[in-house]
Amino acid sequence: MSSLDTKLRANLFGDFQLKLADGSELEISGKRARAVLAILCLTPGVAVERGRLCELLWQDRFQAQARASLRQTLLSLKKQLAPVAPDFFEVSRHSVAVNQSAVCSDLAELELALAEGSQSRASELLLEVGGKALLGRLRFGDAFEQWLASHRAQVEHRLKSAVEKALADSQRRGDYQKPNQELNQEHEQARARLLDAWRLRSSSGANSASDTRPRIGVLPFQSNAADDLSGPIAQGLFDELVTTLGQAPQLLVAGRRSSLNLARSETSLTELAKALRVAYLVQGSVQRDGEAIRVHVSLVDGNTGLETWSNSYRGFSDNIFGLQDDIARAITRELGTELGTDIHLPGQRRTTSSKAAYELYLQGRALTARVIGDGVLGKAVELLEASLEIDPEFAACWTALAEAYVYTAVYTPCLDRLEKSARMAECAEKAIELEPSQGHARAMLGIHHWTLNDPVGALDLAHEAYRLEPDNPDVALRLGSFLLYIGRTREALPYIEQAINLNPVDGRSFAVLSVAQFNLGNIDAAIGAGQRMVDLGLPAMWLAVATAATGDHKLAVEQYRQTRLLMNTVIFPPAGTKPLSGPALNIYWQIAARGVCSGRTVHRKVYCSLLDHLHKTLPDPGDTSIVAPAVWMGYAEMVFKTLGTRITPANMICLMSLWADVEPIRRIRLHPEFLPFAERIGLVAAWEKYGWPDLLAQPR
């Protein structure tokens, strides 16, 4: 394979940067100087007329002034580049170019990898550029905007063609090698990852060939609070509309979790649309009179808050499926009319013909969506299982039951987390058997594979889930999280950002984003995401850990201590223990906050001793309340004793915090027992297949 061995590397996607061989950025002073370099590095070796550069960057000046400014800019650039690349430019009286042998770019590397069939490298580069626009943030007037739009379109078209050719070539190689199943499987997996990476870029709203699909948010339907039956019907209409509209390839639908979170706030429709990042909102209400149902639905312009269309529908509770279908199709027709395009819904999803089973399913789903509350998830499981007793072929209900079980294992103080995980896996497998297109069920099944020390199987399932449901924020977040767990943070970040783009008011996503940014060394970004997580009602521990990394230990300790206010609401005591209260609660959180965030060895030792005691006495020695602080304090032996013995759906999230290159967390990776631990829980196998972490060199 040929290579691009050059002194300088230009980053053309996102903010333009020129980097040295060691990865450090070469500072270029002057906005127009950077723009000249960016334009020339886009096509190294190709001369650009001086007059054209003047038109693009100095269009507000007379020709003579523009040419003089260009000359001065080139002289300044030559001076800045002389120490590292004295022959960087090829200059003539009428044109200028950069020496093709003096610079390479992320675009050139990507196109080379695609041309040479290096799918793994191409996937890595695609994920690195993510949804970044070509030459982002360069602004120099209309002429430059038109030129840039044209080049962006050309580049995206070239990349699309190159990816399609690489995928087709890979398919042919796979067909040729079918007798060798192992080799064929490797090709298929590499092909699938390339497809994932390209789909992620093409679905991003950040690039020029950005996702132009209209974004729509569905708000929870209103119902009569005094009517016990209209509430589940309203919840069901909301839930099914999110799912049904989300299957239309021409639409992009905001995640249901964000819609539910925002619906509880007292904000205007325009503010709701802005928070959900959507152009249109669907809102409605349900009224019931015996078996008769009346549903009013309206489509709202997110920019103005004004209705663009509204209608009422009448039906009966025994035909709720037909009513949902009528409403979904009416909304898509109106959206199509509004946007001047045809929007097609898929065929009606497989559900159930039993009214009783469906009503139980709706009630169970509504309780599962609440997550937090005494007995909420237990009741959700009871209702969903009752639904499946009536109709065991109800695929969507099996998926809902799997979700309820995994939430029970994560968000309640249960003592049988592994049993709950196994039951979740059974439900997910049944859902997939009945409806093979179930991506979300595969993502949840991947959670169980982590408890079996099989991260390879977990990631395989997560990638397959993403291929099936690329616009499902839960699926994107799960894939991003799994990649974080194995230390592939840069690869994980685009999936996490996509999940937030689709579900912008979900605190879980910002928690994962905060960890990812922290692991990458972007402390300010980690703090910003952590603060957003706290604003959405989640614990402040990750925010405090990031704050401590800035050296502001006093603030970090206070942020960590504030988490105690969420005890028994978002945070529950370990199973089998009595909740702390009063002075005991304050003392415990003071010890914890100082141990994790004060930066003082004595405080860390005190809290580590307390973790030793908890590990010996708690019913679950691998409880998250032990594992998470052990990671943050670099207590390697405790990490190995907990995660190395039992990974559960609750404590597996602690894996993603192992990959920050800060003290004292890095002590865990530097510990001589880290690689044996990683081997024991399947991480090494995952690295051998999906790539080794940036912070860990592959043994030779």
Using CA atoms, how far apart are residues 698 and 597, in angstroms rounded to an integer? 32
What's the mean pLDDT in 603-609? 96
Q: How many CB atoms lie within 10 A of CB 667?
A: 14
Tokens 């996937």: give the residue: 123
The pLDDT of residue 112 is above 70: yes
Q: Which helix (H) or strand (E) holds 8?
A: strand 8-11
Give the CA distances from residue 411 to residues 120, 404, 408, 424, in Å, rounded to whole numbers and listed in that order: 37, 10, 5, 14
Residue 674 C-alpha from the chain's centroid: 28
Among 88-97, 118-127, 195-204, 353-362, which stretch is predicted with the lowest mean pLDDT? Answer: 195-204
User: What's the pLDDT score for residue 205?
Assistant: 44
Using CA atoms, how far apart are residues 18 and 9, in angstroms rounded to an integer? 6
More confident residue, 664 or 152: 664
User: What's the pLDDT score for residue 347?
Assistant: 58
What's the mean pLDDT in 317-329? 74
Residues linked to residue 13 through DSSP beta bridges, in sequence order: 134
For residue 58, report the phi and psi dihedrals to the nearest 5 degrees.
Answer: -130, 45
Tokens 């669907």: give the residue: 282
Q: How far apart are the first and last CA of the chain?
A: 22
3-state secondary structure of 41: helix
User: What's the pLDDT score for residue 155?
Assistant: 85
**Under 8 Å between Cβ of 520 and 498:** no
The pLDDT of residue 661 is above 60: yes
DSSP string spanning 337-372?
HHHTS---PPSPPP--S-HHHHHHHHHHHHHHHH--
The pLDDT of residue 83 is above 60: yes
Residues linked to residue 334 through DSSP beta bridges, in sequence order: none
Among 43-57, 395-409, 585-599, 615-629, which stretch is predicted with the lowest mean pLDDT? Answer: 43-57
Largest separation between any pair of C-alpha atoms in the chain: 86
The DSSP call for residue 134 is: B
The pLDDT of residue 98 is above 60: yes
User: 106-129 in b/e burial notation, b at 16+ Cβ within 10 A?
Assistant: bbbbbbbbbeeebbebbbbbbbbb
More confident residue, 10 or 145: 10
Identify the sign of the CA torsion 279, 13, 109, 126.
negative
At residue 345 the predicted structure's pLDDT band, cuts being 50, 70 and 90, is low
The DSSP call for residue 659 is: G
Kindly give, in sequence order, each residue whose CB lies less than 8 Å from that of residue 554, ignoring residues fewer than 6 positions away: none
The pLDDT of residue 334 is above 50: yes
**Per-range mean pLDDT, top range of 23-27, 190-194, 211-215, 509-513:** 509-513
CA angle, corner 568, sides to 562 and 572, nearest 5?
95
Upper half-sphere CA count for residue 129 (Cβ side, 13 Å): 33
Domain 1-208, architecture per CATH: Orthogonal Bundle (1.10)
Domain 215-339, architecture per CATH: 3-Layer(aba) Sandwich (3.40)
The pLDDT of residue 206 is above 70: no
Among 91-105, 430-444, 574-588, 590-604, which stretch is predicted with the lowest mean pLDDT? Answer: 574-588
Using CA atoms, how far apart are residues 668 and 674, in angstroms rounded to an integer? 7
**Per-range mean pLDDT, top range of 249-253, 268-272, 334-338, 696-700:** 268-272
Identify the burial level of 437 via C-beta atoms within 10 angstroms of its C-beta, where 0-12 means exposed, 13-18 middle and 19 or more buried.
middle
The pLDDT of residue 360 is above 70: yes
**Under 8 Å between Cβ of 224 and 287:** yes
| % of the chain exceeding 90 in pLDDT | 32
Using CA atoms, how far apart are residues 246 and 439, in angstroms rounded to an integer? 13
What's the mean pLDDT in 562-566? 80
User: What's the pLDDT score for residue 660?
Assistant: 94
Q: How many CB atoms lie within 10 A of CB 22?
A: 5
User: What's the pLDDT score for residue 62?
Assistant: 83
The pLDDT of residue 210 is above 60: no
**Per-range mean pLDDT, top range of 6-10, 346-350, 547-551:** 547-551
**Under 8 Å between Cβ of 384 and 395:** no
DSSP string spanning 617-630?
HSSSTT-HHHHHHH
More confident residue, 653 or 198: 653
For residue 13, report the phi and psi dihedrals to the nearest 5 degrees.
Answer: -90, 135
User: What's the pLDDT score for residue 179?
Assistant: 52
What's the mean pLDDT in 202-207? 52
| Type of residue numbered 125 | L
What's the mean pLDDT in 285-306? 85
For residue 302, report the phi and psi dihedrals to the nearest 5 degrees.
Answer: -65, -25
Q: Which helix (H) or strand (E) holds 294?
A: strand 292-301
Kindly give, in sequence order, each residue whose CB lies less than 8 Å from that of residue 192, ignoring residues fewer than 6 positions away: 463, 464, 467
Using CA atoms, how far apart are residues 510 and 239, in angstroms rounded to an integer? 23
3-state secondary structure of 471: coil
Identify the sign of the CA torsion 562, 564, 569, 574.
positive
User: What's the pLDDT score for residue 304?
Assistant: 86
Reported as a single tens digit per residue, the pLDDT across 136-190 is: 777 777 778 778 877 887 788 788 878 888 887 776 665 545 555 555 666 677 7
Instruction: Please tell me the class of the 437-690 domain.
Output: mainly alpha
Tokens 């067909």: give the residue: 175
Give the CA distances from residue 690 to residues 128, 190, 216, 497, 684, in Å, rounded to whole numbers and listed in that order: 15, 10, 35, 20, 10
Among 323-327, 635-639, 676-680, which stretch is predicted with the lowest mean pLDDT? Answer: 323-327
Residues in the chain: 700
User: What's the pLDDT score for residue 185?
Assistant: 66
Q: Read off the tokens for 439.
A: 């991506």
**Under 8 Å between Cβ of 518 and 547:** no
Average pLDDT over the chain, rounded to an integer = 84
Using CA atoms, how far apart are residues 360 and 382, in angstroms rounded to an integer? 9
Q: Read off the tokens for 78.
A: 């030559």
What's the mean pLDDT in 363-387? 85
CA angle, corner 693, sides to 674 and 599, nearest 5?
60
More confident residue, 101 or 227: 101
Residues linked to residue 48 through DSSP beta bridges, in sequence order: 96
The pLDDT of residue 99 is above 50: yes
More confident residue, 189 or 383: 383
Using CA atoms, how far apart are residues 432 and 426, in angstroms rounded to an integer? 10
Q: Read off the tokens for 84.
A: 């590292």
All structural domains of the chain with their residue ranges: 1-208, 215-339, 356-409, 437-690
More confident residue, 61 or 182: 61
**Under 8 Å between Cβ of 463 and 476:** no
**Per-range mean pLDDT, top range of 36-45, 535-544, 589-598:** 589-598
**Under 8 Å between Cβ of 273 and 217:** yes
User: What's the pLDDT score for residue 349?
Assistant: 55
User: What's the pLDDT score for residue 209?
Assistant: 39
Among 16-30, 199-213, 219-233, which stretch is predicted with the lowest mean pLDDT? Answer: 199-213
DSSP string spanning 405-448?
HHHHHHHS--S-HHHHHHHHHHHHHHHHHH-TT-HHHHHHHHHH
Nearest to 627 by CA among 457, 417, 477, 402: 417
Q: What predicted TM-score, i.e. pTM, was given to this entire model?
A: 0.73
